[in-house]
Amino acid sequence: MPQIKAVQTSIGELYGRDAVYLDHVHMNYPKKELVLKGEINGELATEAADDFVPYELIFTEVYYFNMIELDVALHMSEREYTQGSSFDELTDTPLLATIASARGKNLKHYMLKTYDDILEIACADYKMVI
C-alpha cells in the first residue's frame, strides 16, 4: 500500500499552497536530469526561516516526470493530491512497481506541490540546494 512521507529539507518540512514557488523547469533529456528552481516561503517551513529562500532541486536518472496545473489536478478523481506536505516521497506505489518490472530499476517517487503546479517524479535520487 502506498505511503506518503514529507521530505525533510534543510529548513524543515514544507506545508501549504504558498510554500513552494516554481520559476524554472529544465529537463536535460540526454542526462535524464530534471532541474527545478524557485523560492520557498520560509514562513511555511517547519524550521522557520524568514522571507523567501531560493532553492534548486536536481533529480537524477529520471524515468517519469509529470507536471499538471494545480486546480486541474484537484479535480481529477483518480488521484488524491490534497494529502501530504508540499514535498513528499511516496513509497510502494504502482508507478514504482511498473518501472521496476519494465526496466529493473528501483527508484524513488516524489511529489512536489507548488503554488501553480504539481510535479510527480520517479528518479534515482535528488539533491536540494537552499
- According to the model, what pLDDT value does residue 81 have? 57
Residue 93: count of CB within 10 angstroms of its CB = 17
- According to the model, what pLDDT value does residue 1 have? 82
Distance separating alpha carbons of residues 62 and 70, to the nearest angstrom: 22
Calculate what percentage of the chain has a pLDDT beyond 90: 84
> In what helix (H) or strand (E) does residue 114 lie, and over which residues does it extend?
none
Q: What is the pLDDT of residues 5-27, one digit of tens each?
A: 999 999 999 999 999 999 999 99
Residue 109: count of CB within 10 angstroms of its CB = 21
Q: What is the pLDDT of residues 74-113, one digit of tens each?
A: 777 556 656 789 999 999 999 999 999 999 999 999 999 9
- pLDDT, mean of residues 112-125: 96
Domain ranges of the chain: 3-125
- According to the model, what pLDDT value does residue 120 have? 95
- According to the model, what pLDDT value does residue 79 have? 60
